[in-house]
A and B are shown apart, each in its own frame.
Chain A
């Protein structure tokens, strides 16, 4: 019975892993097929693997500059990961330690997660037009910050609540200012949570699509929107091999971060969901 159940569990695991990752596997396989092979072989097996699709991406910089698009995503996502932290850390301290604004600020921010942000598209577009933030990495980063606020605030409030109270009380009695406590007590002790926030915020920001679509047109286009360029040339004109290679490049960084940090992400994701 025992080895049978064990084998069954492995079978179910492999089946689940294969099915859920199926699109990624297919895209990876397709990206490694040459153009000639693509037209005759849609199966999952590659007869002659080739990197020609990837080469082609790097050689079409005049029409589709992959490096600048990746760079756009990196910069905007970095802003979208760090800025929520800067904005939320002091507020999280006030909420968790001083019991200030807990009853209204926390629910407002947390409930943001339930709102389809598309409803703010027009006013934000207008705001960005006036402030010349349209089609800039900074502008996109600011919106990604808004997207990341809820989870960041919840995680930071939880993290600060877990720090022993005695520590910052002792610091305060020694005459430390709140700013000092934030920097030298809270920040180092909450660092694991902060790091998770950063990584998770980066992944979420990287994967955002809607605002990239609305607020950028040429110079600040992020990876998610850039990849869809290959499909908007509608009709039969999609170069599937190249498109697949672009999607793999667009998935690579968040997946790598996810694999490296999976343990912490799974913890924070679940704690964020429960408290949220």
Chain B
């Protein structure tokens, strides 16, 4: 491979580097400059550095910490629930899915829907007059909570997130689970391991890396979630309850005041 000169190697990565330079490095530098200066929408193009006061301001802002806490709690809760449900479904349904793999396509459907549209769909699902969930709750129990209000908001958002992304965990764990070599399972059988023992000592340890990856990926994605929360809570209570929303509303609404 010494045949390839350094110049050529650089040439190979240059399209990617140029793209990253424009769309990543530039905004990154501008962001740092902005964070150290006093700007609003009218003075975007002339930056005057004025120190770290913006950081101090954010540090002292209780709304920021509240948004951070909400995001952390949300991400932890949603990712855990997704992994638990995904793991259960992956293992319990694996005999079914092995024979009929097209069933996976049905379970994967929610992942293909845009999170923003998913959020809008839930506005329909949970709507007090046209939504079927409140309708059936009234029909069966004679009561229906305010899903997007007060304390319920956290759980409503979490359940929505979990229902859309449990398929991801399920898929990841299923692929890892069916990838366990048959010989290991058989050897454990011969040694007299029952179903539970097999799961505890063979299957779960072997798919542990996948579990970890699934949790981390889902945690990150839930932490930075924006679309569905935005379309669901815009204008309503708790508008800046999430970290990303906090950033967004601060940029586009507060500065416009």
Contact = CB atoms under 8 A, between A and B. Distances in A.
Interface in A70-121: 86-88, 90-91, 93-95, 97-101, 105, 108-109, 112-116, 118-121
Interface residues of B, number: 89
Nearest to B122: A23
Contact of A120 (B27, B168, B176): B27
B100 to A, nearest CB: 10
A20 B248 contact: no
Given A22-B163, A118-B248, A266-B175, A258 B125 contact: no
A30 B224 CA distance: 31
Contacts of B125: 22-23, 26-27
Interface of A: 6, 9-10, 12-13, 16-17, 19-24, 26-27, 30, 38-39, 42-44, 86-88, 90-91, 93-95, 97-101, 105, 108-109, 112-116, 118-124, 126-127, 142-143, 145-146, 149, 153, 172, 178, 203, 206-210, 214, 223-225, 227-228, 231, 234, 240, 243-244, 247, 250-251, 254-255, 257-259, 262-263, 265-267, 269-270, 273-274, 276
Given A90-B12, A112-B24, A223-B114, 4 more contacts: A9-B96, A214-B252, A240-B124, A262-B104
B65 interface: no
Given A122-B44, A266-B104, A274-B213, A87 B163 contact: no
B15 interface: yes
A123 to B, nearest CB: 4
Contacts of B135: 42-43
B124 A243 contact: yes
B114 A254 contact: yes
B154 interface: no
B116 A124 contact: no
Nearest to B162: A20
A228 B24 contact: no
Interface in B8-27: 8-9, 11-13, 15-17, 19-20, 22-24, 26-27
Contact of A269 (B96, B123, B168): B168
Contacts of A145: 19, 23
A43 to B, nearest CB: 6
Contact of B118 (A23, A115, A116): A23
Contacts of A108: 20
B1 A114 contact: no
Interface string B90-127: 00110110000111111111111111111011111101
Q: Is the interface of B mostly helix, strand, loop or mixed?
A: helix
B44 A254 contact: no
A44 B95 contact: no
B116 A90 contact: no
B132 A122 contact: no
A12 B112 CA distance: 22
Contacts of B134: 42
B206 interface: no
Query: Which of A91, A124, A266: most chain B CB closer than 10 A?
Result: A266
A23 B172 contact: no
Contacts of B120: 227-228, 231, 243, 247
B114 A121 contact: no
Contacts of B50: none
B31 interface: yes
A251 B15 contact: no
B84 interface: no
A126 B17 CA distance: 21
Contacts of B224: 114-116
Interface string B221-233: 0011011001100
Contact of B3 (A172, A209, A263, A269): A172
B53 to A, nearest CB: 18
B30 A87 contact: no
A273 B213 CA distance: 7
A21 B110 contact: yes
Contacts of B95: 6, 9
B110 to A, nearest CB: 5
